[in-house]
Amino acid sequence: MIKPHGSDHLNPLYVSDAAARAALEQEAASLPSVVVSSAAAANAVMLGGGYFNPLTGYMNLADALSVAESMQTADGLFFPVPVLNVVESAEGLSAGSRVALRDPNVDGQPVLAVMTVEAIETASDAQFEQMAAAIFATTDPSHPGVAAFMGVGRVLLSGSIEVLNFSYFASDFPDTFRTAVEIRDEIAERGWQKVVAFQTRNPMHRAHEELCRMAMERLAADGCVVHMLLGKLKQGDIPAAVRDASIRTMVDNYFLANSVMVNGYGFDMLYAGPREAVLHALFRQNMGATHLIVGRDHAGVGDYYGAFDAQTIFTEQVPAGALEIEIFNADHTAFSKKLGRVVMMNEAPDHSAEDFILLSGTKVREMLGNGIAPPPEFSRPEVAQILMDYYQSEAAS
């Protein structure tokens, strides 16, 4: 099986031993505590599950600036985005102290992890803008990722962490949330060697379904992991539970048995386009995938990125050998009226736009909200029904 990034074995930071975890929970009760941001909580979940291997905790300012600028830490470890714990204030804390990190996304703000603080540093607004420009290719506050990144404070707490739980992800999505360790183990149990990962924050329509099938066939892959983001999204995106139901319905009805795993991960969407695509590749390698599908406007939002910037970053900016996972580049896919099947549009040079069934996201949402199913060439009817139910319930509420 493909090796994790940066080490021979995964280093999940979740304390899996029950006795050790109970002792840590007892210690946490007597420690000073800080309620972290949603982004820092999601980073803890990803560190706990082994997705951010080989990191042992949150980055310091030097590493954060270096990663933003060159995609490597000060020591030379390749990593595409800073992994930070930024707070408004570190009053009462000092380097060398232990602190309980409390979860902002769960009622009662329970302790999510215990941190050994190695450094407390205050970054300037200019340094945050420098990092935002490198990560998101913009400092526009209208960009949802920039807004979240710039709005959490300026004090960086860096150091190693021990993770006690997986926030709300394990309880709210018990059948879907899986750690990198668990996915890697299931891939091994299935005997899969070549594994394609498909990233999604949206329901999957026919084009996405066929893209997974194309990748599996062209790569002669043993299987595909449809891996959905379960964390926070921008306003207007479809909730995780609805996406989960629609994706599972599609897989159950239209893929061969035991050819697709449907899983999810606990992270907030960055909308960082190319940089986030590289992060997606890194943690898919950690979970055992050998290939990641990167399509048009992968992890993008608005008009901040070029259609294929998330593909070219792998050849133009990611150093050779930095990652072992390979990229399956995909063009926009759509149903061809001429051929009677879904194709990549760049592989149909004799087609005009009129030869494809193309619907904008706005048009699809309008149809679903009015109880009108998109054509079956665009969306499977079972999936469309789930989405129509959601949009109509939203309209009625």
pLDDT, tens digit, for every residue of 306-339?
A: 999 999 999 999 999 999 999 999 999 999 999 9
Q: Which pLDDT value is given to residue 394?
A: 79
Residue at 359: amino acid letter: L
pLDDT by residue (tens digit) across 1-25? 999 999 999 999 999 999 999 999 9
- Average pLDDT of span 164-189: 97
- Supply 317's token pair: 């900016």
Q: Mean pLDDT over all residues of the chain?
A: 95
pLDDT by residue (tens digit) across 267-311? 999 999 999 999 999 999 999 999 999 999 999 999 999 999 999
Q: Which pLDDT value is given to residue 177?
A: 98
18-170 homologous superfamily: Sulfate adenylyltransferase (3.10.400.10)
Task: Mean pLDDT check: name the lowest of 66-70, 88-92, 208-212, 366-370.
Answer: 366-370
Q: Which of 181, 215, 183 is nearest to 196 (CA)?
A: 215
Check whether 89 has a pLDDT greater than 90: yes
Q: Which pLDDT value is given to residue 227?
A: 98
Q: Which pLDDT value is given to residue 39?
A: 97
Within 8 A by CB and 6+ apart from 321, the residues are: none
Q: Is 258 an annotated catalytic residue? A: no
Q: Report strand pairing: 341-344 vs 333-336.
A: antiparallel
Q: DSSP alpha helices (H): ranges in the chain?
A: 18-28, 38-48, 61-70, 125-136, 144-150, 169-172, 180-190, 206-219, 240-254, 274-286, 309-316, 361-369, 381-396
Exposure string for 284-309, b = 16+ CB within 10 A, e = fewer:
bbbbbbbbbbbbbbbbbbeebbeebb
CATH fold label, 176-396: Rossmann fold (3.40.50)
Check whether 203 has a pLDDT greater than 80: yes
Catalytic option among 201, 248, 329, 365: 201
Q: How far is Cα 308 from Cα 298, in angstroms, rounded to an integer?
A: 8
3-class state of residue 45 by DSSP: helix
Local confidence band at 165 (pLDDT 50, 70, 90 cut-offs): very high
Local confidence band at 266 (pLDDT 50, 70, 90 cut-offs): very high
3-class state of residue 148 by DSSP: helix
CA atoms within 13 A on the CB side of 337: 9
Give yes or no for a contact between 202 and 243, defined as CB atoms under 8 angstroms apart.
yes
Q: Which pLDDT value is given to residue 77?
A: 98
Q: Which pLDDT value is given to residue 234?
A: 84
pTM (whole model) above 0.85: yes
Catalytic option among 154, 202, 248, 365: 202
3-class state of residue 43 by DSSP: helix
Give yes or no for a contact between 44 and 101, defined as CB atoms under 8 angstroms apart.
yes
Q: Which pLDDT value is given to residue 379?
A: 94
Residue at 191: amino acid letter: G
Q: Which of 14, 34, 11 is nearest to 85 (CA)?
A: 34
Q: Which pLDDT value is given to residue 359?
A: 87
Check whether 392 has a pLDDT greater than 90: no
- Average pLDDT of span 228-232: 94
Q: Is 98 an annotated catalytic residue? A: no
- Average pLDDT of span 201-228: 96
Q: How far is Cα 349 from Cα 222, in angstroms, rounded to an integer?
A: 30
Q: How far is Cα 4 from Cα 2, in angstroms, rounded to an integer?
A: 7
Within 8 A by CB and 6+ apart from 81, the residues are: 67, 68, 135, 270, 272, 275, 276, 279
Give yes or no for a contact between 80 and 70, defined as CB atoms under 8 angstroms apart.
no
Q: How far is Cα 29 from Cα 27, in angstroms, rounded to an integer?
A: 5
Check whether 389 has a pLDDT greater than 80: yes
Domain positions in the chain: 18-170, 176-396
Q: Which pLDDT value is given to residue 237?
A: 83
